[in-house]
Amino acid sequence: MKWVNHEIVTGVIVYGATGDLLSTAFSMAGAIFPDKVEGRPGANYWSWRARHRGWSHWPVIYIAILAIMQLGFLPQGADVEKGVTFIAVGALLHIAEDALCGKVPFLFPWQKVGIKLFTVGSVTEYLFSMAAVIVTYIIHVQFMIK
């Protein structure tokens, strides 16, 4: 997915689930983290492309960070814990979103899984993102009323 769609879909999902703007902001930062650490394609596109959706898209890393934090091995404090948690949640959502338009690592970094519902940057991607926003809103409204 394009970064803008990662930001929107992840932000809406987290805000719909938590109603918390700080958690949403942290998750939106995490939503671009896996791509950001890979660097920009730049002049050497094919070198970058070979690395894209590699170790930075391996969900085990982010799950391990959450587990280590729960065990108390990372800095403590409500804001720090919220930041680490929702950056990891944003990264995990990014990986799940990428798995809808290609393959990403799963249990092992070399084992890639995914489906190709749409091509990155296509009209279908934007329609999917809009649908995700609408569905999240409907679910959020249903749970808020009850």
Q: Tell me the mean pLDDT in the region 21-45.
A: 87
CB 49 within 8 A of CB 58: no
pTM of this prediction?
0.90
The domain total for the chain is 1
pLDDT digits (tens, 9 = 90+) for 109-119: 889 999 999 99
Q: Tell me the mean pLDDT in the region 39-46.
A: 71
Return mean pLDDT, the chain: 90
pLDDT digits (tens, 9 = 90+) for 48-83: 777 778 889 999 999 999 999 888 877 677 788 899
Domain range for residue 84?
A: 3-145
- Rounded to 5°, the CA angle 90-76-65 comes to 40
pLDDT of 10: 98
